[in-house]
């Protein structure tokens, strides 16, 4: 039987040790019997020139078409109670392509519990931030939460959930 192919999304690609982190995640996928689709090499060598970004984004989105399962690191990004925006786009596209989606994050409490800024009840009794913007009722934006199986933990936790779902015929 052919190995299921996994597409990985998350902010780790922005880290100084991105290649090493990707290799670790590739080995983790292999440990669980999956193939991690390879990022284009130039992803790790971006110099910040916007003209280089579009062709790379197109390659990444094309790669999504070839996966069976997408796993996204949806932890709070840069201290906001939102995931890295690239993950949100890729989750949306993978959902539209009919892929099975998993998200992992270290803390799955609802958004307003994780939000560390000022918050108060508005005139309708709804909890809002200092700008009057209300919070999502779950750990992620409703559209991401609806489309993805969210697990609390790390990538290995997500891989174990994928295996469990595959055994039940749910993935």
Which pLDDT value is given to residue 48? 67
**pTM for the structure as a whole:** 0.92
The residue among 28, 32, 34, 31 whose CA lies nearest residue 6 is 34
Write the CB contacts of 93 (distance below 8 Å, at least 6 apart in sequence). Answer: 61, 64
Question: What are 92-146's pLDDT values in tens digits?
Answer: 999 999 999 999 999 999 999 999 999 999 999 999 999 999 999 999 999 999 9
The CA–CA distances, whole Å, from 50 to 33, 39, 75, 88, 129 equal: 37, 18, 25, 20, 33
Question: What are 72-81's pLDDT values in tens digits?
Answer: 999 999 888 8
Query: Phi/psi at 137 (nearest 5 deg)?
Result: -80, -10
* Angle of CA points 155, 35, 16, to nearest 5°: 55
CA distance 146 to 161: 17
Domains of the chain by start residue, with CATH: 4-109+139-168 (3.40.50.450)
């Amino acid at each position: 039987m052919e190995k299921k192919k996994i597409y990985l999304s998350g902010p780790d690609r922005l880290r100084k040790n991105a290649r090493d982190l990707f290799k670790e995640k590739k080995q983790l996928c292999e440990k669980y019997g999956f193939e991690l689709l390879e990022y284009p090499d130039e992803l790790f060598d971006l110099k910040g020139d916007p003209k280089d970004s579009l062709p790379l984004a197109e390659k990444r989105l094309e790669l999504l078409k070839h996966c069976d399962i997408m796993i996204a690191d949806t932890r709070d990004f840069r201290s906001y109670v939102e995931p890295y925006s690239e993950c949100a786009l890729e989750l949306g596209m993978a959902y539209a392509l009919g892929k099975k989606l998993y998200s992992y994050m270290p803390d799955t409490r609802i958004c307003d519990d994780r939000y560390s800024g000022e918050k108060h009840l508005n005139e309708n009794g709804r909890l809002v931030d200092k700008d009057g913007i209300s919070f999502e009722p779950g750990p992620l934006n409703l559209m991401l939460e609806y489309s993805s199986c969210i697990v609390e933990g790390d990538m290995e936790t997500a891989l174990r959930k994928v295996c469990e779902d595959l055994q039940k015929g749910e993935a």
